[in-house]
Structure 1
């Protein structure tokens, strides 16, 4: 299945071919932090936004332990490597979205497949409303979120808050 930019949510698992011709699989994830720590080791300062992912393995493991325990997680796999990770973190009657794609896999449509599957996974688990914050200078991410149906609801200190109903 080729990638498209429509707003449809899709329940994982899903196998897609990205714009670079790589076949990847998007699936729910409830495993340990090891494959994600390996993925986050490839993030340099330019690949971080809003302080995430944290620097250093110990801080990453602590952060990931919380996400894996409390959140709804989806991971993109290329062969045996995690190359994308997204999570919905529940808060009362809503959930915060965070998404990360390994730098070498960015701009290939993997974020689109990842967010589509994450929203489908959230919907299947009773999530009705999703929100996120994004640096206003991160135009690529903002375009991804808009293509997934998010709308800007607030602008503060260089960040935009965006949300959507599922």
Structure 2
């Protein structure tokens, strides 16, 4: 697999590290932050996801399961959140898995298609680089074209195609 490079140079992609602030496509001030140690704002965000915003069974549907899942992500992974004011509107995590890390990213439906996912994934990958991670992978439903385009824009390449899912990966 080829190492993703910046368009203007031959050096490996260096992603920005949180914290950072930007204005999304809806003119909202969004902050990407690596301080995701409080589970309550994440539980609140995930509790507001509707059925069509869930992928591969995540986030879980019921609040006790959401709490358990969020707790595991915060304990085991590297996490970044997107905030609009005091509300968490996006969350991404890198969870250790053997000699690599699995990436998961979620943006609340009211904030999708506004550029938040792009900033969130790049902030997460920068956070992973700063912690010495060297490889990241994910799985995505092959019908989720928006997510696949986001991952490709961050340098991920398809490494495995199975029935309804693709596995994508990239070195850091």
- Residue matched to 1:56: 62
CA distance in 2, matches of 1:103, 1:8: 28
CA distance in 1, matches of 2:129, 2:42: 24
How far residue 29 of structure 1 moved from its aligned partner, in angstroms, is 2.5
- Residue matched to 1:17: 23
- Residue matched to 1:130: 136
- Residue matched to 2:117: 111
Q: Is residue 165 from structure 1 mapped to residue 158 from structure 2 by the alignment?
A: no
Name the SS of the counterpart of 1:29 in structure 2. coil
CA distance in 2, matches of 1:76, 1:163: 23
1:3-23: CA deviations, max 9, x gaps?
xxx865110001011000001
CA distance in 1, matches of 2:141, 2:112: 17
Structure 1 consecutive aligned stretches of length 4 or more whose deviation exceeds 3 Å? none
TM-score by length of 1: 0.94
Aligned 1:37-52 pairs, distance under 5 A: 37-52=43-58
TM-score by length of 2: 0.91
Number of equivalences? 161
- Unpaired stretches in structure 1, ≥5 consecutive residues: 1-5
CA RMSD of superposed structures (Å): 1.1
Structure (1 or 2) with the larger CA radius of gyration: 2
Name the SS of the counterpart of 1:49 in structure 2. coil
- Unpaired stretches in structure 2, ≥5 consecutive residues: 1-6, 8-12
CA distance in 2, matches of 1:8, 1:140: 23
1:65 alignment partner, one of 71, 77, 80: 71
How far residue 41 of structure 1 moved from its aligned partner, in angstroms, is 1.6
Name the SS of the counterpart of 2:75 in structure 1. helix
Q: Is residue 79 from structure 1 mapped to residue 94 from structure 2 by the alignment?
A: no
CA distance in 2, matches of 1:49, 1:149: 21
